[in-house]
């Protein structure tokens, strides 16, 4: 996957829609999970670097990125958990290393706690994990999804681009911002953006929070010190409740650390994953 190309050339038929995924590199298996409102594209730099040592699996959750989007789609946390657990089986991965960002963190944690998915080790990057979660904007849209979904396309695009920008500590490059926003535009993307926010529910992390104390594996909690969506205090709490966890703060990084500090993030993950 050379240069700036990012293509998910494989398919998996999940209960809630077609999953687009790919794998590259050689070595022990490593799975990278994205969050919301993003896609596996956010892992492009980190994935290529880690593929020199690992067989890296990346995927877009149903309702996100290049994966299926459709009216009535279930993109809730339990649905994404079920899909992730099924994907691990499809890939034949019994104890992969897993790195999960934002909403993907909640997905990976639910699969471990509720489905018994076994990981060699787990890195949680600015992860949705402990209540409360979601930015003020996220909660506003969740409460008024129908109103926001009626925005004209040009206003919707401006909103999406501004929202994504707020996840970074430093403004993204124009081409990067366009790539991150593209899946949420058009006749399929626009309603999908509001669908995934409307179905987010904190009770789906409430169901598993108490079980974090029983997790018995090495866990790295990576957090951007400038995260305004999920302040670093949330990461400190998460590292405190998981017995074998340690916190690794990243200076000068917001919520989307893959864009703010890709080299620093890759270095922290490479050391931990070894």
Structure tokens at 80: 């994404």
Q: Chain-centre distance of CA 13, in angstroms?
A: 20
Sequence-distant (≥ 6) Cβ neighbours of residue 155 within 8 angstroms: none
- This prediction has a pTM of 0.97
Collect all residues with Cβ–Cβ distance below 8 Å to 263 and sequence separation of at least 6. Answer: none
Task: Return the axis-axis angle of helices 136-143 and 186-198, rounded to nearest 10°.
Answer: 100
In sign, the C-alpha dihedral spanning 250, 240, 274, 4 is negative
The whole-angstrom separation of Cα 230 and Cα 224 is 9
DSSP reduced 3-state for 253:
coil
**pLDDT in 10s for each residue of the chain, 274 residues:** 444 589 999 999 999 999 999 999 999 999 999 999 999 999 999 999 999 999 999 999 999 999 999 999 999 999 999 999 999 999 999 999 999 999 999 999 999 999 999 999 999 999 999 999 987 888 899 899 889 999 999 999 999 999 999 999 999 999 999 999 999 999 999 999 999 999 999 999 999 999 999 999 999 999 999 999 999 999 999 999 999 999 999 999 999 999 999 999 999 999 999 9
**Residue 87's closest CA among 58, 110, 116, 63?**
58
How far does Cα 143 stand from its chain's mean position? 22
In angstroms, the CA 256 to CA 168 distance is 5
CA–CA distance, 64 with 12 (Å, rounded to integer):
14
- Contact call for residues 257 and 228 (beta carbons, < 8 A): no
72: how many CB neighbours lie within 10 A of its CB? Answer: 6
């Amino acid at each position: 996957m050379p240069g700036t190309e990012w293509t998910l050339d494989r398919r998996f038929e999940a209960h809630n829609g077609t999953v687009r995924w790919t794998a590259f590199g050689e070595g022990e298996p490593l799975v990278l999970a994205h969050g919301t409102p993003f896609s596996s594209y956010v892992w492009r730099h980190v994935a290529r670097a880690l593929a020199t040592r690992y067989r890296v699996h990346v995927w877009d959750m149903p309702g996100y990125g290049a994966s299926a989007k459709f009216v009535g789609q279930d993109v809730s946390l339990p649905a994404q958990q079920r899909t992730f657990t099924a994907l691990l089986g499809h890939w034949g991965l019994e104890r992969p290393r897993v790195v999960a960002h934002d909403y993907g963190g909640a997905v990976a944690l639910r699969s471990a706690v509720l489905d018994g998915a076994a990981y060699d080790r787990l890195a949680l990057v600015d992860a949705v994990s402990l209540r409360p979660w979601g930015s003020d904007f996220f909660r506003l849209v969740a409460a008024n999804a129908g109103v926001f979904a009626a925005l004209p396309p040009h206003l919707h695009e401006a909103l999406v681009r501004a929202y994504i920008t707020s996840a970074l500590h430093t403004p993204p490059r124009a081409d990067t911002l366009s790539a991150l926003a593209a899946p949420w535009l058009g006749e399929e993307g626009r309603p999908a953006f509001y669908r995934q926010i409307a179905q987010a529910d904190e009770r789906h992390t409430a169901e598993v929070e108490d079980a974090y104390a029983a997790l018995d594996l090495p866990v790295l909690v990576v957090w951007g010190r400038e995260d305004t969506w999920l302040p670093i205090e949330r990461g400190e709490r998460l590292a405190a409740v998981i017995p074998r966890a340690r916190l690794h703060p990243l200076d000068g990084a917001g919520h989307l650390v893959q864009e703010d500090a890709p080299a620093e993030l890759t270095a922290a993950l490479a050391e931990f994953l070894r």
